[in-house]
């Protein structure tokens, strides 16, 4: 659970000053419309396991591919009457599109 679940998205949130200091955003979440991930990878600096920064072009490309995979998971999930875990839908997408 994120801080917004515990304290709400407000200045009284005990983490709000730290979040502002780090230049991060607060997100309001609500049931099924909750923001679980921020896919705006252009604003992230990612590092490999050895502490080297991953080139921004690679981070952006991975983000684009991830968005395509998520779109395909919607199609997969629409094919089945019963809901399924996201990991199962992603596995099916990757099996269908091995490249």
Which of 64, 67, 94, 92 has the alpha carbon at shortest distance from 77?
92
Q: Which residue has the tokens 């080139």?
A: 55
Average pLDDT over residues 82-86: 83
The pLDDT score that the predictor gives to residue 11 is 64
The pLDDT score that the predictor gives to residue 36 is 43
Give the separation between CA 67 and CA 84, rounded to whole angstroms. Answer: 19
Give the model's confidence band at 95: pLDDT under 50 very low, under 70 low, under 90 confident, else very high: very high
Higher pLDDT, 99 or 8: 99
Give the model's confidence band at 6: pLDDT under 50 very low, under 70 low, under 90 confident, else very high: low
What phi, psi does 47 have (nearest 5°)? -130, 150
Q: What is the pLDDT of residues 35-63, one digit of tens each?
A: 444 556 666 777 888 889 989 888 888 88
Q: Which residues pair with 53 in a beta bridge?
A: 47
Give the separation between CA 64 and CA 22, rounded to whole angstroms. Answer: 25
């Amino acid at each position: 659970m994120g801080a917004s679940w515990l304290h709400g998205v407000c200045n009284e949130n005990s983490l709000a000053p730290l979040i502002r200091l780090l230049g991060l955003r607060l997100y309001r979440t609500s049931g099924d419309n909750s923001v679980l991930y921020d896919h705006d990878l252009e604003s992230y600096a990612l590092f490999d396991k050895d502490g080297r920064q991953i080139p921004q072009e690679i981070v952006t490309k991975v983000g684009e591919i991830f968005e395509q995979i998520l779109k395909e998971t919607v199609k997969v999930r629409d094919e089945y009457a019963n809901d399924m875990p996201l990991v199962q839908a992603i596995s099916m997408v990757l099996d269908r599109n091995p490249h």
